[in-house]
Structure 1
């Protein structure tokens, strides 16, 4: 190879290197931090985010806590993503209060932060929130349960999330308001109690813990005939406890999420009705906002309601719902 050829090759290599570097520099970087990597809800959210990032020519960084409530893991993910050049971070807060200092630090460095599914406390710690109206989700299943019981005296167990979480509070209180309890609204900040609520227990949204919670509630009151569950894994756990006690046929279970497995539980009669939410839509919209910010510097703000639909095969007069055929066609992806 002549000196002239070697020089030409070197110039071609340098030009290609510069082009690749420029391309990488122009590629918007967006981060997604979920509560866990294993919960099907967050798996679907990640799927939606990856799809949206690919369509928009962005690079998606992902991270999660080791388990629900792992605030330290989420803080580490935020710090790593900032170091990797993320211009926007989407996060489902495990601890709505403890995550706030890390979120504010990120925003101070010019990173736009969007909460998904769950707000921070205070909500304005993030630039925006893309989420289900969780109070409405609870309200729908509460209205349904009231109609389904048909005037029968209710003895209610609530299989909740864990103390203080805003999503758990909103769904619980929405359910009681929908069931007819007075004086409970979307801004009620504590878990409400009513005379017909005979047991409250935490499940952390986990099936095994949901089963244990239901077993404990049955020990307190074996005549429970209505169960509200924070999500469908907790509802499935509650059903297992009821079945083991020979009580599954006399108890109505309602829940929130609308995942494919949960809708199949509605179809089979394990759950009477569920309020379906759409994490894929949350992720796609938020990634779009993140990419736009990376390219233009324009931030989004406020709350974006990503929708909720009551799913049941046993319709109740006066309560709007869709059947499980629709629920399975739209499970988490509408």
Structure 2
């Protein structure tokens, strides 16, 4: 979906003159000053968020809007300071990808007090946000682990690689657990925090394999962690099947290999996510009373066959 198509969708929702002018000219004219958009990322050391950033830059350019982007580097105090700074610089719309859903509430309150429209992206944020756009993370965990259980023939030992305690990660674990619980022959033998980092996940996976020599399957809450887990699985030389969430280019390449332990990932769509987030922010900023409070985005299970033609 292009940003022009997304803007058109929200124009139909908002039913205001500013939408028509924006679609016709490609510039933001809803206010008497140039539109200023801020986005605070939890991190930009991940292709998933870099892809999101690129899509946002293209969308802002099509609007003729000024764009301010910051990287919290998983530091909630820095993220709060970054948002407060953007508010001081006069942003109209804040797209917030929280590194800590609870910890960013101070920043959300500061934005609200300044009259800034705030939309949480990818992970929900505490406080008076105007909207939320994110993947169906329960479905992501469910689809990946249901596929894993099927590939194991409904029997075996499975471990989970957890991550930071934000809502999307918690929902992926819940979805995975719900799927595995449907198979009486599947036993969840361990759950460890891989921190969604390649090196740490590799070390944690090595320890899990050592503690559970009969392990048959592993679920990782994200692809970066799974790539570290894959190194540990391949080094150990055991037949352990791996599934994950994201659709990261490196993960897709690993899944394509016919001998790979990495068999599937529940893919997200970061470009659509941020475009819809900005579209929702524009609608709310322009006064749309019927724009939705939340927009859930479907995920798709990418196995070896589908990996041949998949990319963000």
Shorter chain as denominator, the TM-score bin is 0.7 to 0.9
Instruction: Report the equivalent of 1:255.
Output: 244
Contact 1:88 1:293 in 2 (8 A): no
Paired position in structure 1 for 2:18: none
Aligned to 2:116: 111
Pairing 1:127–2:142 present: no
Counterpart mapping for 1:77-88 below 5 A: 77-88=82-93
**Who is 2:66 aligned against?**
59
Q: 1:181 Cα shift?
A: 4.3
Counterparts of 2:287 and 2:186, CA distance in 1 = 52
Structure 1 residues 180, 198: CA separation in 2 closer, same or farther (over 3 Å shift)?
closer
* Cα shift readout 1:302-321 (whole Å, capped 9, x = no counterpart): 2101221110126xxxxxxx
Secondary structure at 1:196 match in 2? strand
- Runs (4+) off by over 2 Å: 179-182, 288-294, 296-301
Compute the TM-score of the two structures, normalised by the length of structure 1.
0.78
- Deviation at 1:137? 0.5
| Aligned-pair Cα RMSD in Å | 2.2
**CA distance in structure 2 between the aligned counterparts of 1:25 and 1:82, rounded to whole angstroms:** 18
Aligned pairs for 1:8-19 within 5 A: none
Could you tell me which of 11, 19, 32 is aligned with 2:39? 32
Change (3 A) 1:86 1:301: farther
Counterpart CA distance in 2 for 1:297 and 1:84 is: 22
Asked if 1:204 is matched to 2:204, the reply is no
Quote the residue 2:226 is aligned against: 235
Q: 1:57 to 1:290 in 2, by over 3 A?
A: farther
Larger Rg: 1
Between the aligned partners of 1:228 and 1:112, the Cα distance in structure 2 is 37
**CA distance in 1: counterparts of 2:143 and 2:152, whole angstroms:** 14
Structure 1 unaligned blocks of 5 or more: 1-21, 183-193, 315-322
- Number of aligned positions between the proteins: 280
Partner in structure 2 of residue 191 of structure 1: none
Gaps of 5+ in 2: 1-28
- Encode CA deviations 1:287-308: one digit per residue, 9 max, x unaligned: 22334444x2447442101221
Residues 245 and 205 (structure 1), Cα distance of their counterparts in 2 relative to 1, 3 Å cut: same
Give SS of 2:310's match: helix
Please say if 1:137 is aligned against 2:140.
Answer: yes
Aligned to 1:326: 309
- 2:19 alignment partner in structure 1: none
**Equivalent of residue 268 in structure 2, options 277, 291, 306:** 277
